[in-house]
Structure 1
Amino acid sequence: MNYEEALAYYPAVVASRDVAAFVAPVAEAGPDKAESILWAAWQTVVASADERLVPLVAGVRRHLPELPLFGAAMQAAWDEPPAGEAWTRLNAFAARLTPDVADFLRLGLLTIGSALETFADPAAQVPAAVEWFHHAGPPLLAATLHGRTYVSRLGELAVAAGVAAPGFSVPRWVFWRTRMAALADQGFRPARDGVRFMKRYDRQIAAAHL
């Protein structure tokens, strides 16, 4: 099976969430062909990503523990993100995978930063960010309390508010919480959901912010 054949093969496999059919071509291919097959497979997953595909990826991981090329395919989606509901679904998918199946906290940080730290349209960006607080709150909190660092840029609104560390930090979380509440007060419904999810962690953040 070559790359083009894999692109034709995998949509039905992904739609059926058939783990055995997903991994079989990779297992049968030689090392020189497995990479192109996997790239086509993960591109198909990412293109149709939603929360229903989490069990598929978890099942594939039992056969391919390192999930080769999956991270690269996900990064490519963040480099050229889809619009609208597809972007929200993709972030919900990534958040559901984190951290038990795959760790995409860095991508979550990019999404949240774009949504809450820039002048980007809230209607286009905030729903995707809210998915992280909904589905990956505990790992986001842990990364924040431990100051997990990544090479990333702070958005201009965070910089103006005095946030200094570009990775996860308590001051950055406090800024996110404040910004989410401000959007909620403006009547933006997804932000109201975001505030509700973030409230779960107010006590831990307040204790660390002292």
Structure 2
Amino acid sequence: MNYEEALAYYPGVVAAGDVAAFVAPLSPSTPDDVLWAAWQTVVAVADESVAPLVFGVRERLPDLPHLGAAMQAAWAEPHPGPEWTSLNAFAATLTAGGIDFLRLGLRTVGLALEAFDGEPHVPAAVAWFRLAGPQLVAACKHGRTFVDWSGGSDPGFSVARWILWRGRMEAVSREGFTIMKRYDREIAASR
């Protein structure tokens, strides 16, 4: 199978949620472009309903080769709207299930709640708090950081950042604020 054949093959497989058909053409010698096409297809239709397919694939391919790169590529140019919110809900669902995309969540929440013009990103940030709230809280409590792609460092998660987000969320989204309030005691205990 080559890249073009994979692009033709995978949309039906992803729509059906067929784990066996997803992994059938894959082997240790599968060319990278075929793996890329497979994950591009998943990311293109990403929403919470596709997560079970990814969890099933993880049972057979624990490293999920190229999924991280495909997800990172999708975050290269954030595009607020329903598709962006669905993509973030997908990433948050995977994170809650143990496939860690918190770095992408940090970027989305930062865009929504730290940028002057972030309101278009708020629905995507709310998806993160709704679906991966415990993971976001744990990352803030433990001060999780990341090395950024350019080799520098990102300030990462912190309790102070959570408090900033909570204050901003109160001003822009009742739903998001209600979700964040659930974690007040846990955040307060870590201060």
TM-score tier, shorter chain, comes to: over 0.9
Which aligned segments of 4 or more residues in structure 1 are displaced greater than 6 angstroms? none
> What is the aligned partner in structure 1 of residue 166 from structure 2?
177
Q: Determine the structure 2 residue equivalent to 1:15.
A: 15
Deviation at 1:41, TM superposition (A): 0.4
Pairing of 1:22-37 with structure 2 (within 5 A): 22-27=22-27, 31=29, 33-37=30-34
Query: Could you say what secondary structure the match of 2:26 adopts?
Result: helix
Gap regions ≥5 residues in structure 2: 149-153
Q: 2:77 matched to 1:80?
A: yes
The partner residue of 2:52 within 55, 58, 61 is 55
Q: Are residue 114 (structure 1) and residue 96 (structure 2) matched?
A: no
2:176 to 168, 173, 194: 194
Amino acid at match of 1:176: W
Q: Deviations over 1:156-198 (max 9, x none)?
A: xxxxxxxxx8110000000000011122xxxxxxx11101110
Secondary structure of 1:79's counterpart equals: coil
- Does residue 139 (structure 1) correspond to residue 135 (structure 2)? The answer is yes
The whole-number CA distance in structure 2 between the counterparts of 1:56 and 1:95 is 15
Taking structure 1 as reference, are residues 115 and 142 closer, same or farther at Cα in structure 2, changes over 3 Å only?
same
Q: Once superposed, what is the RMSD of the aligned Cα atoms? A: 1.6
CA distance in 2, matches of 1:208, 1:121: 28
Work out whether residues 96 and 131 of structure 2, in 8 Å CA contact, stay in contact via their aligned partners in 1: no
1:104 & 1:144 partners in 2: Cα distance?
15
Unaligned runs of 5+ in 1: 153-164, 184-190
Distance 1:82 1:25 in 2: 32
Aligned pairs, number: 187
Letter in 2 for 1:35: D
Q: Distance in 2 between the 1:100 and 1:121 partners?
A: 27
1:98 aligns with 2:87: no
Judged with a 3 Å threshold, the aligned counterparts in structure 2 of structure 1 residues 83 and 115 are, in CA distance, closer, same or farther, namely closer
Given the two structures, how large is their TM-score scaled by the length of structure 1? 0.85
> 1:42 aligns to what?
39
Contact 1:38 1:68 in 2 (8 A): yes
Distance across 1 between alignment mates of 2:98 and 2:168: 30
Deviation at 1:83, TM superposition (A): 4.0
SS in 2 for 1:98: helix
Residue pairs, 1:120-135, within 5 angstroms: 120-122=117-119, 124-135=120-131
Output the amino acid matched with 1:146: H
Listed as ranges, the matches of 1:151-166 within 5 Å are: 151=147, 166=155
Q: In structure 1, give the amino acid aligned to 2:13.
A: V
**Identity among equivalent pairs (%):** 65
Output the TM-score relative to the length of structure 2: 0.93
Cα offset, 1:97, TM superposition? 0.6
Contact persistence 1:151–1:166 (CA under 8 A): no
Determine which structure has more spread, i.e. the larger CA radius of gyration. 1
Q: Residues of 2 paired with 1:13 and 1:101: CA distance?
A: 23
